[in-house]
């Protein structure tokens, strides 16, 4: 999904965001020429498949976007089982964040560890004092494009209700992939890809 957002210098930046390719990333189609920042919101492999994992990052590194951001999903098991090993696959030019903030091309991104649930200890992020242009998670907030409440995280919903980011990018809930909704001041985008042969959680 392609969205536009105004950065800190009042310039319009275009963000192409996707998630849940599960090994089929080379079938994902988008317009590279229209993309300033390429964001992957996780689940690039199926159940930790290392071949998918390696090939995704080879493909991701080839993409011409000036800035690239990767956030792991629940199927990206190397980030849970052996994070140091997983980080070795991150190519130069790709920003990978588990939790925290980064500014890319003047756009302030914040990442939360919602793969797809957050834990009570993650409530500490509610203390984050700064504005958020774009929140990126793998999981969905409870009750928002999450298959009628089936997959969403209540702590993540609490975070977005309080912090009110301009945009929240997420995936995981394939049923609502490719849809968006604006609630209050926040534009929510479920960027799970719609590939007919994918029926995975």
Give buried/exposed letters for 82-120 (b at 16+ CB in 10 A, else e). Answer: eeeebeebeeeebbbbeeeeeebbebbbbbbbbbbebee
Can you tell me the distance from the alpha carbon of 77 to that of 45, in angstroms, rounded to the nearest whole number?
9
How would you write the pLDDT of the chain (201 residues) with one tens digit per residue?
999 999 999 999 999 999 999 999 999 999 999 999 999 999 999 888 888 989 999 999 999 999 999 999 999 888 888 888 889 889 999 999 999 999 999 999 999 999 888 989 999 999 998 999 999 999 999 999 999 988 999 999 999 999 999 999 999 999 999 999 999 999 999 999 976 544 444
Is 16 in a helix, a strand, or coil? strand
Please list the alpha-helical segments (H only) found in the chain.
Answer: 50-62, 78-81, 83-87, 154-163
Domains and CATH numbers, the chain: 2-190 (3.60.21.10)
Q: How far is the first Cα of the chain from the last one, in angstroms, to the nearest whole number?
A: 20
């Amino acid at each position: 999904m392609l969205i536009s957002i105004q950065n800190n210098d009042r310039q319009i930046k275009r963000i192409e965001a996707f998630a849940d390719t599960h090994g089929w990333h080379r079938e994902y189609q988008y317009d590279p020429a229209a993309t300033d920042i390429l964001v992957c919101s996780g689940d690039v492999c199926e159940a930790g498949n290392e071949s998918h994992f390696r090939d995704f990052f080879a493909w991701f590194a080839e993409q011409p976007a000036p800035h690239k951001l990767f956030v792991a999903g629940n199927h990206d098991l190397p980030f849970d089982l052996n994070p140091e090993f997983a980080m070795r696959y991150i190519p130069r030019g790709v920003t990978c964040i588990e939790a925290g903030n980064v500014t890319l091309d003047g756009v302030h991104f914040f990442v939360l560890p919602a793969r797809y649930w957050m834990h009570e200890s993650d409530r500490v992020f509610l203390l984050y004092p700064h504005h958020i242009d774009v929140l990126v998670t793998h999981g969905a907030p409870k009750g928002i494009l999450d298959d009628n409440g089936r997959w969403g995280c209540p702590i993540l919903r609490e975070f977005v209700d309080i912090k009110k980011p301009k945009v929240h990018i997420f995936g995981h809930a394939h049923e609502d992939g490719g849809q968006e909704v604006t609630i209050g001041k926040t534009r929510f985008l479920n960027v799970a890809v719609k590939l007919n042969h994918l029926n995975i959680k």
